[in-house]
């Protein structure tokens, strides 16, 4: 078992009493990267971030430097929008970064804005995170007063503003185009891509970079130590350190900063200094590798490294860095139904397959759990799923505007493929047990996964 000795990058101040104050931040090297960057050019900062091969930490894993390079030349004003809406079930790390080291995020925002020549940045914090809002407000007030944000930043002649903004409760607002709609004061419904790729037509239809909190929290370290140093951590394909929220049936649930590519799921779940293994000496039934939207993994996936390419290839995703562990006592139907309830609840209603389909899926699962399920319901679950995400494949295809609809299909496809007898047992024990079809494999048409 190998837990690497790579350095911590973004959690270094989590345990300091004064880590979230300006004084504590500056004492530990804070804002040095900003001062250094201001003495060089935006292109230099962009080059370091490109060299770092920093994959976005919000879910899609798109390289930040590449994204920044997509901005059309000479179109201004440009904006930076920070995605602090963290609400994918299982995910817990952006809130910590905002609460425990707000200046690190602010410095990352300033460096990114400098690199992409943004005139204004908006930190969109999830509405339900009152303490994160308070810590960021305090930190921004300190930074403005110290001349580090606003007019003539650190005497460099460069000026830009950072505005703290917060939402009001809606998971879908985490999707970047919905985030922009919400920031424009509208209902948080996703826009169609194309044409509304934020880098081209984003906030106020101007070029806009949307980045996750954790992505930006890495930027000060990258600028201080160089992109090559960051790329030297992890593997060529998945660079750097990353925060994983390990939750569920492990001995030590927690948020761990581990080296990508060189750490495996087994390390994360079983290493004594990390998850410590399944609680109470139980056995692993399944785990979700990247948030509620991700297809489930099992025992046979434990030795896969925490690398985007590998996990993608194995049929799931690292997503938002949320690993949810289920032991042998878990009821797969209940777990699946709870996740589907989430997507049904959070569908924004803009597209029919998602609005109607997720609601149907939720209702069918509820009736199965209540002992009202019919044998045909198993096929119906897959039929509805197929209408939302044709072929029920991975990566998912979609009949919808955004990936939320197809996300509801992941837990159903996973649980039905692997734990079908548990669904059958509910039907068998319910009011419609009698009419069990003989010899019909409802899963026959669905590729194994």
Partner 1 sequence: MARLSPENEVLARQIIGRYPRSRSALIPLLHVAQEQDGWVTDDAMAHIGELLGLTPAEVLGTCSFYEMFKREPVGTYLVNVCTNISCQLLGGEELLEHVEERLGVKAGATTPDGLFTVEDVECIAACTEAPCLQVNYRYFHRITHAGFDALVDELRAGRLAEEIPPHGTTTRIRQTVPAPRWAGVGAEGLPPEIG
Ligand X SMILES: Cc1cc2nc3c(=O)[nH]c(=O)nc-3n(C[C@H](O)[C@H](O)[C@H](O)COP(=O)(O)O)c2cc1C
Q: Does 94 sit near partner 1 (CB under 8 A)?
A: yes
Q: Does 342 sit near partner 1 (CB under 8 A)?
A: yes
Site for partner 1 in 291-310 (CB under 8 A): 292
Site for partner 1 in 139-168 (CB under 8 A): 140-141, 144-145, 147, 149-151, 159-161, 163-168
The three-point CA angle 353-355-356 to 5° equals: 70
Q: Could you give the string, one character per residue 113-152, with x where binding to ligand SF4 holds by CB under 6 A and - elsewhere?
A: ----------------------------------------
64 or 170: CB nearest partner 1: 170
278 or 404: CB nearest ligand X: 404
Compute the least distance from the CB of residue 168 to ligand SF4, in Å. Answer: 17
The maximal CA–CA distance of the chain, rounded, in angstroms, is: 79
45 or 354: CB nearest ligand SF4: 354
- Using CB under 8 A, pick the residue from 45, 49, 199, 245 that binds partner 1: 245
Q: Does 69 sit near partner 1 (CB under 8 A)?
A: no
Q: Does 128 sit near partner 1 (CB under 8 A)?
A: yes
β-strand pairing of 208-212 with 120-125:
unpaired
- Using CB under 6 A, pick the residue from 13, 20, 50, 57 that binds ligand X: 57
Q: Does 71 sit near partner 1 (CB under 8 A)?
A: no
Distance CA 372, CA 432 (A): 7
- Using CB under 6 A, pick the residue from 160, 405, 415, 426 that binds ligand SF4: 405
- Using CB under 6 A, count the residues that bind ligand X: 23
Q: Does 319 sit near ligand SF4 (CB under 6 A)?
A: no
- Binding partner of residue 324 among ligand X, partner 1, ligand SF4, none, CB cut-off 5 to 8 Å per kind: partner 1
Going from the C-alpha of 15 to that of each of 9, 50, 157, 241, 435, the distances in angstroms are 13, 30, 35, 18, 60
81 or 442: CB nearest partner 1: 81
Q: Is the dihedral of CA 86, 90, 93, 98 positive or negative?
A: positive
Compute the least distance from the CB of residue 196 to ligand X, in Å. Answer: 12
Angle between helices 352-369 and 332-346 (to 10 degrees): 150
The contact set with ligand X (CB under 6 A) reads 56-60, 62, 64, 83, 85-88, 172, 174-176, 210-212, 215, 402-404
């Amino acid at each position: 078992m190998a837990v690497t000795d790579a350095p911590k990058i973004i959690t270094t101040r989590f345990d300091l009493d004064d880590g979230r104050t300006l004084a504590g931040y500056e004492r530990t090297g804070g804002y040095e990267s900003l001062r250094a960057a201001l003495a060089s050019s935006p292109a230099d900062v962009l080059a370091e971030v490109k060299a770092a091969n920093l994959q976005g930490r919000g879910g899609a894993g798109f390289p930040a430097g590449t994204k920044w390079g997509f901005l059309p030349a000479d179109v201004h004003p440009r904006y930076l929008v920070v995605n602090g809406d963290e609400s994918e079930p299982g995910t817990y790390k952006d809130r910590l970064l905002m609460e425990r080291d707000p200046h690190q995020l602010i410095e990352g925002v300033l460096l990114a804005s400098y690199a992409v020549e943004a005139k204004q940045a908006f930190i969109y914090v999830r509405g339900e995170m009152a303490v994160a809002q308070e810590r960021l407000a305090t930190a921004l007030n300190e930074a403005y007063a110290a001349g580090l944000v606003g007019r003539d930043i650190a005497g460099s002649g460069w000026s830009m503003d950072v505005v703290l903004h917060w939402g009001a409760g809606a998971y879908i607002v985490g999707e970047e185009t919905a985030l922009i709609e919400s920031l424009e004061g509208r209902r948080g419904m996703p826009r169609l891509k194309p044409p509304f790729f934020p880098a081209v037509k984003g906030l106020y239809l101007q070029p806009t970079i949307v980045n996750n909190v954790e992505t930006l929290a890495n930027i000060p370290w990258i600028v201080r130590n160089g992109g090559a140093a960051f790329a030297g951590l992890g593997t060529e394909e998945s660079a750097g350190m990353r925060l994983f929220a390990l939750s569920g049936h492990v001995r030590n649930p927690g948020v761990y900063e581990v080296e990508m590519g060189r750490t495996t799921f087994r390390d994360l779940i079983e290493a004594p200094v990390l998850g410590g293994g399944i609680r109470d000496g139980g056995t692993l039934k399944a785990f979700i590798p990247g948030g509620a939207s991700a297809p489930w993994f099992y025992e046979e996936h434990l030795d896969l490294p925490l690398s985007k390419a590998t996990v993608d290839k194995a049929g799931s995703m690292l997503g938002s860095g949320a690993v949810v562990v289920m032991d042998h006592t878990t009821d797969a139907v209940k777990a699946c139904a709870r996740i589907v309830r989430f997507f049904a609840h959070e569908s924004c209603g803009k597209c029919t397959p998602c609005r109607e389909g997720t609601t149907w899926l939720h209702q069918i699962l509820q009736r199965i759990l209540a002992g009202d399920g019919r044998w045909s319901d198993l096929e119906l679950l897959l039929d509805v799923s197929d209408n939302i995400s044709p072929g029920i494949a991975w990566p998912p295809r979609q009949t919808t505007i955004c990936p939320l609809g197809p996300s509801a299909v992941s837990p159903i496809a996973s649980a039905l493929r692997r734990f079908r007898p548990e669904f059958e047992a509910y039907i068998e024990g319910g009011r419609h047990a009698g009419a069990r079809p003989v010899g019909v494999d409802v899963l026959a048409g669905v590729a194994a996964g």
